[in-house]
Amino acid sequence: MSENTNAAMTEGATGATGATGGAKSSTYVLVHGAWHGGWCWDAVAQNLRSHGHRVFTPTLSGLGDRAHLISPEIDLQVFIEDVVHVLERHDLSEVILVGHSFGGVTLLGAVDRVPQRIRQLVFLDAVVLSAGETAFSRLPPEIVAARKQQATETSNGLTIPVPPASAFGVVEPEQVALLERHCTPHPLKTFDDPMVLKGPPGGTLPKVYIQCVDPVYGPLQSSRDFVKSQNDWAWDEIATGHDAMISAPDALAEKLLAFA
């Protein structure tokens, strides 16, 4: 694993603007994690766009403003197809693809499908899986048991209820209110589906892992240990909690701009 203090990440919406004044324009696709939606990238995306870059922030099926689509059919492959569809529909190339938390799982599946469209992979405090693993297999057993029990009690096993904002390292009242207003229950099946990959996670593309260190999000220790055991991953850190795009959007955008 190599050290990289210039790691970066972006925000987004499913819209884009080009560079102004002849400046180089890069393309970012920002993939949210569990319980979130494309909305969580708003501040980061605004920052990136102000520098002339194109930013896409898709919301995955059954979440955010697509929560009305929730069904037992939503699995990991549906999430992956959501992202691949954005990449292909907009004919994107040279993409800086960013995945936060569970978004790292979705990112890995998408890049395995269309690696030719991606230039850089950024894993923001993310879950990282190898072929055959599930997101639950990377989490501590007690957390897995609790989430499955909560899903059974609240939705007959369909969705995992939203944790408190403090679980994401968010404590500022305005930011807490944002999460409480927009987060939605997450499809349980996506955590239990095995990852299908043709090769190692991320293939041969440049990869950087950005850990949120203040505070550290404990459930991701297994993913961090895996990344640190690899020789082809760069490593960076950001001094904020797990939801960096909410608690430190400008600092996160600065890191992501380093990849433009």
Q: Catalytic amino acids?
A: 101
Which of 98, 87, 78 has its CA nearest to residue 202? Answer: 98
Query: Is the torsion defined by CA of 213, 219, 220, 224 positive or negative?
Result: positive
Beta bridge partners of 213: 216
The tokens describing 91, both together, are 């004919």
Residue type at position 193 = D
Q: At a CB cut-off of 8 Å and minimum separation 6, what does 181 contact?
A: none
Rounded Cα–Cα distance for residues 80 and 97 (Å): 13
